[in-house]
Amino acid sequence: MAKTYSQLYIDIRRRLRDAGIEAYGLEARLMVAHAAEKTPAKLLQDLSLYTSDKVSEMAESFLERRLAGEPVAYITESWEFYGLPMEITRDVLIPRADTEVLVDTALSLLRGRKNDARVLDLCTGSGCVGCAIAHELPASRVVLIDNSPEAVNLAKRNAALNGLDDRVLCVEADINEQPPIRLGSFDMIVCNPPYIRTDEIPSLDISVRDYEPIWALDGGSDGLEFYRAVLKRWKDLLRSASHLIFEVGETQAEEVVKLMRLTGFKGLEKVPDTAGIERVVFGRI
């Protein structure tokens, strides 16, 4: 017997809830909308309509994948970050709410002081951080850097998806190598690098360890490998009195402060996330 979209949504929501999925309502809505090839807003308008067998079967397959541990962002190939829709593939990490603190910090340092800033986003992945900054500061220019060609192409699509491709440039480059000469100089560098210690990777939650790209998580033996690379090779792209902002792991803030101090940064500060964890470190050169 055919179900309405409402009935299908309620059934999937219940099964997600029973499986202990915390955001069961949101995830059920995203899966049903994706199966129906509708936006979540359109799905809400159409809840009283009947689904097809194809939609029901597709939603059921999404549910099975989710219950097996696959994150919903990879199933639906979409997520939201800082209010912006983002296309997400298994080539990149899923944007976390904690990373919005990185964007908040960048905006607090630029807004009203340098609204037309030129910003460099290193280890950009999906492009979520750089796109959010570009969206919030319409006069800014942002360059997104990643060493993965798949990530760079995805970041380009996300810039276009949000109408930012005229102000956002995506470049393939490796932060473990010297920057391309053509990049020029910047008023700010933001970076959310891989920072999980190599020996911690096997103990990560299955939804992270088995689905998200390990190369985007592994920060080396002490988790600080990429911070050192940025400070050694990329900080010289900053103009005088400009800021470098890092996202850091749960216990890394003080170590990153020390690294930045040793390489000439001043005015160093740590910013907590909503759980009170020191999530962002920044300083000026």
Same domain, 87 and 183: yes
Q: How far apart are CA 104 and CA 108, in angstroms?
A: 6
Same domain, 102 and 240: yes
Instruction: Among 30, 49, 73, give the residue marking a domain's end.
Output: 73
Q: What is the CATH number of the domain that holds 25?
A: 1.10.8
Helix spans in 111-252 (H): 128-136, 149-161, 206-209, 225-233
Instruction: Among 73, 95, 113, give the residue marking a domain's end.
Output: 73
Same domain, 116 and 11: no
Same domain, 254 and 113: yes
DSSP 95: P
Instruction: Among 73, 95, 117, give the residue marking a domain's end.
Output: 73
Same domain, 248 and 176: yes
Confidence (pLDDT) at 62: 98
Confidence (pLDDT) at 2: 82
Q: What is the CATH number of the domain that holds 279?
A: 3.40.50.150
Residue 64: CB atoms within 10 Å: 11
- What's this model's pTM, rounded to 2 decimal places? 0.95
Same domain, 202 and 249: yes
Phi, psi (deg, nearest 5) at residue 181: -60, -35
Same domain, 157 and 259: yes
Confidence (pLDDT) at 172: 98
Exposure on the CB side of residue 182, measured as CA atoms within 13 A: 7
Same domain, 121 and 141: yes
Same domain, 22 and 85: no
Same domain, 197 and 254: yes
Q: Given the structure tokens 């209010």, which residue do they identify?
A: 83
Same domain, 94 and 130: yes
Structural domains counted in the chain: 2
Helix spans in the chain (H): 5-18, 24-35, 40-45, 53-67, 72-76, 100-110, 128-136, 149-161, 206-209, 225-233, 253-262
Return per-residue pLDDT of the chain as tens, 285 residues: 689 999 999 999 999 999 999 999 999 999 999 999 999 889 999 999 999 999 999 999 999 999 999 999 999 999 999 999 999 999 999 999 999 999 999 999 999 999 999 999 999 999 999 999 999 999 999 999 999 999 999 999 999 999 999 999 999 999 999 999 999 999 999 999 999 999 999 999 999 999 999 999 999 999 999 999 999 999 999 999 999 999 999 999 999 999 999 999 999 999 999 999 999 999 999
Look at residue 117 and give its three-state secondary structure.
coil
Confidence (pLDDT) at 31: 97
Give helix 128-136 / helix 100-110 axis angle, nearest 10°: 40
Range of the domain at 31: 5-73
Given a contact cutoff of 8 angstroms between Cβ atoms, the answer to whether 75 and 26 are in contact is no
CA nearest 167: which of 191, 131, 192, 127?
131
Question: 78: which strand partners?
Answer: 87
Phi, psi (deg, nearest 5) at residue 81: -140, 125
Same domain, 69 and 82: no
Q: How far apart are CA 141 and CA 124, in angstroms?
A: 15
